[in-house]
Amino acid sequence: MRFADYAKIYVTAGKGGDGMAHFRREKYVPKGGPDGGDGGDGGDVVLVGNKQLNTLLDLRYRKYVKAKKGANGGTSRKKGADGESEYLEVPLGTVIFDGESRERLGEITEDEQELVIAEGGGGGLGNWHFKSSTNQTPQKSTEGKKGEERTIELELKLIAEVGLVGFPNAGKSTLLSALSHAKPKIADYPFTTLEPNLGVVKFEDYRSFVMADIPGIIEEAHDGKGLGIQFLRHIERNNVLLFMVASNTDIEYEYNALLNELKAYRKDLLDKPRVLAITKMDLKQGFTLDEELHFDDEISVIPISSATGFGVDELKEKLWELIQHVKEEQEQAG
């Protein structure tokens, strides 16, 4: 299955227009020199960042994209018009790869940022370029060059300060809905979330941060099981990871299993600050855990209930604190 964070497109830039072979012929200039104009350049295929977009859905159904060819050269050394470029809008966080070699071609991270992924061919030369002292009437002109052709793969990595990490049905969508105005699909069965959702978490004092609900991971997801690495890659962009484990499960086992999946996919993901939220505490008598939890790492553990609001404010403040810490480190490093 392919989701709205992936698209594969065959792109063709425009061919350059042909140069013209022509001689000046006017009433009083019966034997004018060569005046054939150059062909116009072919149009490029260009990706443009659009901060209003959240998915690659619009491009999933565009399998072929072709820019316009340049116009042929005219008389009186007139250059043909350049071909119209084809602009494809993509969300911020889109990474572009060559579909054959998997070479990384670039990344779109800013609004209105442009990236040429297929360059139009140059226009051909008109015959006036080939005039010389030994050849006053050149018949030669050149054809325009072909535009670049390639298959590209687009992958979207969500840009969010906090990423929700948990197995299916851990309550991630419910928390995102409770903390923001996002309206993800919520139901009591696995894989309700099939596409990542973004929500803006706001405080009363106008602070805010962006949170991403990443579809549920399953064990061996790094090997492509379940929804696989199509979603694990989104975690790469999050500054802080919020692990979520339901209170009615084996909490220690599930937390360690999530850690192992991230470690197997990319070990350095474990260097990110993280918090563990024990969700669905309203299922526990008196909102208290029955067992004492022991983890190998020093992680903040915050019991919450998205349904009642229990512990949610404490969780928001802890996440804000970690986000600011990461930003300070980035400023010092850069």
Q: CB–CB of 12/147 below 8 Å?
A: yes
**Helical residues (DSSP H) of 108-206, grouped into ranges:** 172-179
Residue 258 or 31, more confident? 258
- Tell me the pLDDT band of 334, cut-offs 50, 70 and 90: low
Spell out the residues 6+ positions from residue 61 whose beta carbon is closer than 8 angstroms to its own. Answer: none
pLDDT (mean) for 144-169: 86
Report how far apart, in Å, the C-alpha atoms of 64 and of each of 61, 123, 228, 334 are: 9, 23, 27, 40
| CATH code 3.40.50.300 for 162-333 | yes
Least confident of 13-27, 277-291, 312-326: 277-291
Can you read off the two tokens belonging to residue 29?
């200039």
Would you say residue 318 has pLDDT above 60? yes
- Tell me the pLDDT band of 122, cut-offs 50, 70 and 90: very high
- Tell me the pLDDT band of 225, cut-offs 50, 70 and 90: very low
Phi and psi for 130 in degrees, rounded to 5?
A: -100, 10
- Tell me the pLDDT band of 191, cut-offs 50, 70 and 90: very low
Domain ranges of the chain: 1-156, 162-333
Tell me the pTM. 0.60
Q: Quick one: fold of 1-156? A: Spo0b-associated Gtp-binding Protein; Chain: A, (2.70.210)
Would you say residue 184 has pLDDT above 50? no
Phi and psi based region of residue 311 (left: phi greater than 0; alpha: psi -120 to 50; beta: remaining): left
